[in-house]
Amino acid sequence: MRPTSSSARNDGGARAVVPAKHCERQRQARPAIYYIRHGLTDWNVAQRLQGRHDVPLNAAGCAQAACCAAILQDLFRREGRAPESFDYVSSPLVRARETIEIVRAALGLEPAGYAIAGQLAEIAFGEWEGLTYAQVMARDKQVIAARESDKWSFAPPGGESYAQVAVRVRNWYETVARDTVVAAHGGTARALIAHLGLAPPQDAAHYSIDQGVVYLLAGKGFTRHG
């Protein structure tokens, strides 16, 4: 539940009265999300669809996670905020958990001190998981054409659509109480961008979500850092 108090502490520990209009703006403000896509894996290198498969980071992926920590340090410093003033949440998949643990350690925080949210797991690719895009094209060329014509609503055989992912991402976001650092996946990032109204769903489904960078989703827009 988001705080609705009409008072706030100043630096001396006393409570300062906050105007009612300011309180209303605070209630309406959405928590900011500092979103990190997990670092590189060997399946990324091979261009295999990972989905729910639990593939660990490779050496380059670990370096990308450390790079994200440096980007966050710079953002926090500019905002005059300490790393411990944020919540930290990860997808349950190991590539995301390893990413958030590297980030937290580099920020001087206990690596394991983060929450796991099942709703942030990667979009499921069903029967396509483990295949390269070229293999999928050879196997299901007509199905791929259907996907490209409506990527938001399309679900692979045995998998999920972005529309379905958006439902669970929305359920997670409704629990977010304060600004949060997230380590998750490209698919969940696209769903979150659409849910927050930062892009139309069909556009969001085609967005490239890069590794080794931080996306700040705040207010009515999002920015890429790195």
Identity at 226, one-letter amino acid code: G
Is-contact 216 31, C-beta < 8 A? no
Q: How many residues would you count in the chain?
A: 226
The candidate with the shortest Cα–Cα distance to 37, out of 94, 96, 88, is: 96
Residue 122 annotated in active site? yes
CB proximity list for 99: less than 8 A, separation 6 or greater: 36, 38, 39, 57, 61, 64, 65, 68, 90, 183
Instruction: From the candidates 98, 122, 129, 160, give the one annotated as an active-site residue.
Output: 122
The count of other CB atoms within 10 Å of the CB of residue 115 is 12
Residue 38 annotated in active site? yes
Rounded CA-CA distance 171/150 in Å is: 23
Catalytic residue annotation = 38, 122
